[in-house]
Structure 1
Amino acid sequence: MAKLVIYNHGKDSIPWGEKPLALAQAAKQQGFEFISPDYRPGNEPDIRVRQLLAIDVSAYQTVVLAGSSMGGYVATVAAENIQPQGLFLIAPAFYLPGYARTTFNPAAADIEVFHGWQDNVVPPENVWRFCQTHHARLNMRDADHRLLSILPEMQQNFADFLQRY
């Protein structure tokens, strides 16, 4: 049974920084392949969505989309078409100026979100609004936008999230 996680990095991040490396380790332990596309050439969120939608996931029985900040937005918008089993979002960039979408219809039954109370990029109320609308599990922590201070906890939670598949 082929299983895949596609991680979507943030606007000023890299495909294989601390978060994706930690999540990749958890995914591999759960029997998932893990890819992290390089979105650095384009900082326009909807161009990134098109890049994600161009990935052929037809060979996989289980697909999980993960994303941080702009990557969370990208994963959520693409989830409408990809229809992943799970959506794991880290400080997703929702309801911000410059992002085309303000309504979301992610076709994922299982959505989990990590966000920091000290996030000065994406206000916590934006994430609360999304989670309330989509009945997503929200994990609020005393952390900043990058959430690196809680990376070990998030990595374990991601492993637990993937264990359901």
Structure 2
Amino acid sequence: MRKLVIYNHGKDSIPWGEKPLGLAEVARQHGYMFISPDYQDSNDPEARVDKLLSLDVSAYRTIVLAGSSMGAYVAAVAAERLKPAGLFLIAPAFYLPGYARNDFKPGTAEIEVFHGWRDDVVPPENAWRFCQSHRASLHMLDGDHRLLSVLPQMAAAFDAFLTRCDKG
């Protein structure tokens, strides 16, 4: 496999929870290797970015970065250097106190963002602000921060997203 999806879990999440398991199945159907690094040893978003950037991805011709909450932030920051084929972001922790970056240079035009109207962790307007700045696709859904209630909908969108990344 010369294609890789790197899923970055959120602050209080685990590497192989429901979201990465659901997305991994879709990725495999498209011929992607799927990894989900374990960031549980640090709640520092910048340390997580460094850990992601330390991975050897040189064997892959196509890289897609995905992530949820802090993991979406990590993916977006790392994308500046990794230049992925796409960014798939779930309830991204953008424009929050304690995060070093508020200016993003995603390194790709293929960006899809999912956010819940009832998110009480990251305000929905933060997703709108990012998407407006980068002309990214934004899906506002009737869900909370975790968005598990709409996982089937996100998996279907991820399927179409990977098809676009493959064509890109």
TM range (shorter): over 0.9
| 1:55 to 2:58 alignment | no
Name the aligned partner's letter for residue 98 of structure 2.
Answer: G
1:159 maps to what in 2? Answer: 159
| Amino acid in structure 2 at the alignment position of 1:147 | L
Structure 1 Cα separation of the partners of residues 67 and 147 of structure 2: 13
Give 1:15's aligned residue.
15
Query: For residue 68 of structure 1, what is the amino acid of its counterpart?
Result: S
Name the aligned partner's letter for residue 12 of structure 2.
D
What are the equivalent positions in structure 2 for 1:5-84 lying under 5 Å apart?
A: 5-84=5-84
Residue identity matched to 2:132: Q
Deviation string, structure 1 residues 7-62 (Cα, Å, up to 9, x no partner): 00000000000000000000001110000000000000000000000011111110
Distance (Å, rounded) in 1 between the aligned partners of 2:30 and 2:117: 29
Shift of residue 160 of structure 1? 1.1
Deviations 1:46-95 (A, max 9, x none): 00000000011111110000000000000000000000010000000000
Structure 1 residue runs of 4 or more that deviate by more than 3 Å after TM superposition: none
Q: Tell me the amino acid that sits aligned with residue 125 of structure 1.
A: E
CA distance in 2, matches of 1:113, 1:14: 20
Corresponding residue SS for 2:84 = coil
Question: How far did 1:114 drift?
Answer: 0.5
* 2:120 aligned residue: 120
**If the length of structure 2 is used for normalisation, what is the TM-score?**
0.97
The answer as to 2:92 corresponding to 1:88 is no
Deviation at 1:109, TM superposition (A): 1.7
Aligned-residue CA RMSD (Å)? 0.7
Q: 3-state DSSP class of the match of 2:34? A: strand
For 2:160 and 2:130, locate their aligned partners in 1 and report how far apart those are by CA, in whole Å.
22
CA distance in 2, matches of 1:21, 1:91: 17
> Separation in 1 of the partners of 2:4 and 2:64?
6
Q: Distance in 2 between matches of 1:39 and 1:95?
A: 21
- What SS class does the counterpart of residue 128 from structure 2 fall into? helix
Gapped regions of structure 1 (runs ≥ 5): none
Q: Which runs of 5+ in 2 are unaligned?
A: none
Corresponding residue SS for 1:75: helix
